[in-house]
Amino acid sequence: MSSPQDLDPSDLAYLGGIDSPTVANALERLKLRDRSDGYVGGSVQCAFPELGPMVGTALTVTADNAVGRPARQDGYWELWNALEQTTGPTVIVMKDASGTPTRVAYAGEIMVTLARRLGAIGMVTDGALRDVDEVRAKGFHYFMRYPVVSHANFELSKVGDPVHIDGQVVRTGDILHGDANGIVIVPNESLRDIREAVDAIQTAERRDLDYLEGPEFTLQGYQRMRGYGS
Amino acid sequence: MSSPQDLDPSDLAYLGGIDSPTVANALERLKLRDRSDGYVGGSVQCAFPELGPMVGTALTVTADNAVGRPARQDGYWELWNALEQTTGPTVIVMKDASGTPTRVAYAGEIMVTLARRLGAIGMVTDGALRDVDEVRAKGFHYFMRYPVVSHANFELSKVGDPVHIDGQVVRTGDILHGDANGIVIVPNESLRDIREAVDAIQTAERRDLDYLEGPEFTLQGYQRMRGYGS
Amino acid sequence: MSSPQDLDPSDLAYLGGIDSPTVANALERLKLRDRSDGYVGGSVQCAFPELGPMVGTALTVTADNAVGRPARQDGYWELWNALEQTTGPTVIVMKDASGTPTRVAYAGEIMVTLARRLGAIGMVTDGALRDVDEVRAKGFHYFMRYPVVSHANFELSKVGDPVHIDGQVVRTGDILHGDANGIVIVPNESLRDIREAVDAIQTAERRDLDYLEGPEFTLQGYQRMRGYGS
């Protein structure tokens, strides 16, 4: 497995003040990847949008529902050992490999409390989680498909290995930025230029909004401003 | 394309005061169409139920995620030109044609602000939208499957052409009535009789509720009231 | 059909004070069934989490959308007659058999009002319901996949027959316990021992949380406490 990377405190503070679609737009401007790459798909939903942006580095794990035998505990403890080695903030990304994601919750209050103690600030899964009231009260981020009431016979493995989450490859160490709109991955190589790109996006959006809401607005004028058909 | 039709202000005000299931029931009473036709399926969910009923005429467009080339801008501007020609209130209905609706948001704050300026009050899609906090704050209706953080390489086309939205054909000019329960289409030919039909529904429901909650209630009595087995 | 069973008032009061994941954990401790059995899958979502736990016995029914003919009313009235024979609290469990669950709502305000009058406290379906604002205001539980605006040409049948709801067989008379996290089935044979099992779970969780949040915490210490690798 690759080692989770640390986020620079100033990058962290900066990113925490920006919403995820603006981050996505800024990254698009930097042309570091295909426009259809770099974010988690919408089936993974923000459970606690009132918490605002989640910013942290991914620690990946694969989650399954063991059949016909006791679940192995090795991966569970391997996850916590790996988490302890991060300096955080860390987001635990749990890939559902059960094939029946409606039937198993991969974490709840106890695991969240342990995760927080070890530096995690959120969990992301294309499966399910539980104890939504208790976890919301802790200010811990949940991104999931839906809650499920039972943890069934869940089993964790492949700590640190890359996973697919609704169309997106997520690697341990990836910087994740998520809010009510979803989760975008912030490439390390973008950190040098992202402030400038965000500034450019915000300036352009402010200009657009001022014009769109202002007294001079015409559709043709806006079309010209956007450089279409010129 | 057919031209969006205008809603009479008095019809608009009237319909805005009624919830969508009552409209659906009233239309059913008028027997203008099959009972399983005339509404958008439940995978398209109301994002801001606190806004109350959305009433407007549809302006349809097809939305895709262009692959391997820059997205064409023609459909984008064609949409706004068509919207400008409506007198509103208009609801933009965006059909997902990407095949990966979890991976692309078809509109956000900028497009919503432009849409409002041109007379739109809401957007409906079997795909995704974004900037949910900003759009909610504007009082603009979103009906969608889920939010998605990135607009990817979205491309609009076929402005004004009929679309399928979760089992329902929606045509430009269709009157849409939506709330927390979903979206029903109000046929033009119903407008003459819908007040009477709503009155009849509300009277019947009031009668039922009074009986169901009243001191005289028996199940057999209610069965008789509803004309079953008599 | 089997006859709905009554919940003992003291069991009912007791269960109403516990959240559903704790019930699920306690039942797991009693080893009465496979860990992947005994709860409804996450596609069926709690619509009104603010109501707290729903505890009642299931009354099952199958729901469809009749095509090309008037819906038969017999099953509808059979449901209410069966409900009247229960002493409640009862949860009506509606299995979607339409194959198009996004296109038909199986109940709304009128049916809920009748259901309440006859002793029901909630409805659970792998399909859709409607009138969410009115039903929320009544404090009546809805667990469903999504709201749908129209009841289409819905038809009820097979009152009391067992149904599958997202991976779970539900039988009339099953004790259901549901909250924001989902719905767990409480076997009758667990009622004698469940208090003790809940106490054991709560004590263990309290111990874990105290340690996880306390000054003595180390990951190795927690690992020992949980008996791993010893």
Rounded alpha-carbon distances, angstroms, from residue B216 to B207, B211, B222: 13, 7, 10
Residue labelled with tokens 């044979």: C189
CB atoms within 10 A of CB A123: 25
Contacts of A84 in chain C (CB under 8 A): 219
- B-chain residues near C100 (CB < 8 A): 41, 167
Average pLDDT over residues C94-100: 98
pLDDT at B5: 55
CA pair distance A59, A3, nearest whole angstrom: 9
- Kind and range of the H or E run holding B199: helix B194-213
Quote the tokens at residue C112.
């809920």
In chain C, which residues touch A (CB < 8 A)? 19-21, 24-25, 28, 35-36, 38-43, 45-46, 49, 166-167, 178-184, 205, 208-209, 212-213, 217, 219, 222-223, 228-229
pTM: 0.96
Which pLDDT tens digit goes with each residue over A39-55?
A: 999 999 999 999 999 99
**Cross-strand partners of A96:** A63
pLDDT grade for C132, boundaries at 50, 70 and 90: very high
B54-65 and B175-179: which strand pairing?
antiparallel
Residue A45: partners with Cβ closer than 8 Å, 6 or more residues away: A143, A144, A145, A182, B146, B147
Rounded distance, CA C72 to CA C154, Å? 9
d(CA C157, CA A135): 40
Residue A191: DSSP 8-state? T
Q: Residue C1: is its pLDDT beyond 60? A: no
Q: Could A217 and B117 be called an inter-chain contact, meaning their C-beta atoms sit closer than 8 Å? A: yes
Non-local (6+) Cβ contacts of C64 within 8 A are C96, C97, C98, C154, C155, C157
Q: Is B204 exposed, middle or buried (0-12, 13-18, 19+ CB in 10 A)?
A: middle
Are residues C21 and A84, on separate chains, in Cβ contact within 8 Å? Answer: no
Show residues of chain A in contact with C19, CB under 8 Å.
131, 133
Q: Do A146 and C43 touch (CB under 8 A)?
A: yes
Q: Which chains touch B (3 or more CB pairs under 8 A)?
A: A, C
Please report the pLDDT score of residue A197 as a whole number. Answer: 98
Contact between chains at A105 and C21 (C-beta distance less than 8 A):
yes
Q: Which residues of A touch B132 (CB under 8 A)?
A: 49, 180-181
Alpha carbons within 13 angstroms on the beta-carbon side of residue B25 total 22
Contacts of C73 in chain B (CB under 8 A): 228
Give yes or no for a contact between A55 and A135, defined as CB atoms under 8 angstroms apart: no
Which among B195, B202, B197 has a CA at the least distance from the CA of B31? B197
- Smallest Cβ–Cβ distance between B180 and the set C73, C114, C133 belongs to C133
CA distance C106 to C103: 10
- The confidence score (pLDDT) of residue C5 equals 55
Confidence of residue C230 (pLDDT cuts 50, 70, 90): low
Average pLDDT over residues A1-23: 83
CA distance B127 to chain A (A): 9
Question: How does pLDDT run across A73-109, given as a tens digit for each residue?
Answer: 999 999 999 999 998 899 999 999 999 999 999 999 9
Mean pLDDT of chain B: 96
Residues of B in contact with C151 (CB under 8 A): 24-25
Give C124's contacts (C-beta < 8 A, 6+ positions apart).
C40, C44, C58, C91, C92, C93, C94, C141, C143, C144, C165, C170, C176, C178, C183
CA separation (Å) from C115 to A124, C111, C122, C159?
39, 6, 8, 14
Residue ranges in chain A assigned as alpha helix (H): 9-16, 20-30, 74-85, 109-117, 132-137, 194-213, 219-225
Buried b (16+ CB within 10 A) or exposed e, B107-124: bbbbbbbbbbbbbbbbbb
From the list A72, A95, A73, A92, the residue with the least C-alpha distance to A82 is A92
Q: C-alpha distances in angstroms, A209 versus A25, A205, B114, B116?
A: 16, 6, 8, 12
pLDDT of C229 above 90: no
Q: Residue C130: phi, psi to the nearest 5?
A: -150, -175
* Residue C107 backbone dihedrals phi, psi, to 5 degrees: -160, 160
Nearest to C114 among B46, B166, B212 (CB): B212
- Grade residue A229 by pLDDT with cuts at 50, 70 and 90: confident
Which of A102, A108, A130 minimises the CB distance to C167? A102
Q: Residue B129: what pLDDT?
A: 98
Averaged pLDDT for residues C34-54: 98
Cα-Cα-Cα-Cα torsion B125, B128, B132, B135, nearest 10 degrees, comes to -40
Arithmetic mean of pLDDT, B56-82? 97
Q: Pick the closest to residue A172 from A116, A105, A91, A54 (CA basis).
A: A91
Read off the tokens for C165: 């709801």
Q: How many whole angstroms separate alpha carbon B208 and alpha carbon B206? A: 5
* Cβ–Cβ below 8 Å for B102 and A178: no
**Could you read off the pLDDT of A134-185 as tens digits, one per residue?**
999 999 999 999 999 999 999 999 999 999 999 999 999 999 999 999 999 9
How far away is chain A from the Cα of C81, in angstroms, using its nearest Cα? 32
- Residue C69, SS3? coil
| C166-199 pLDDT per residue, tens | 999 999 999 999 999 999 999 999 999 999 999 9
Contact criterion met (CB < 8 Å) for B132 and A181: yes
Helix (H, G, I), strand (E, B) or coil at A45: strand
If you average pLDDT over every residue of chain A, what do you get?
A: 96
Contact residues, chain A, for C24 at CB < 8 Å: 149-151
Residue A86, classed as helix, strand or coil, is coil
Residues of A in contact with C46 (CB under 8 A): 147
Q: Is B8 helix (H, G, I), strand (E, B) or coil?
A: coil
Best mutation target, B165, B212, B223, B230, to test chain C (most C CBs within 10 A): B212
pLDDT tens for A192-217 read 999 999 999 999 999 999 999 999 99
pLDDT tens readout for residues A76-85? 999 999 999 9
Q: What is the mean pLDDT of chain C?
A: 96
Write the ipTM: 0.96
Tell me the per-residue pLDDT of C54-74, one tens digit each, with 9 for 90 and over: 999 999 999 999 999 999 999
Q: Write the single-letter amino acid at A9.
A: P
Asked if C166's CB is within 8 angstroms of A102's CB, the reply is yes
User: pLDDT of B146-181, one tens digit each?
Assistant: 999 999 999 999 999 999 999 999 999 999 999 999
Q: Closest chain A residue to C33 measured between Cα atoms?
A: A152
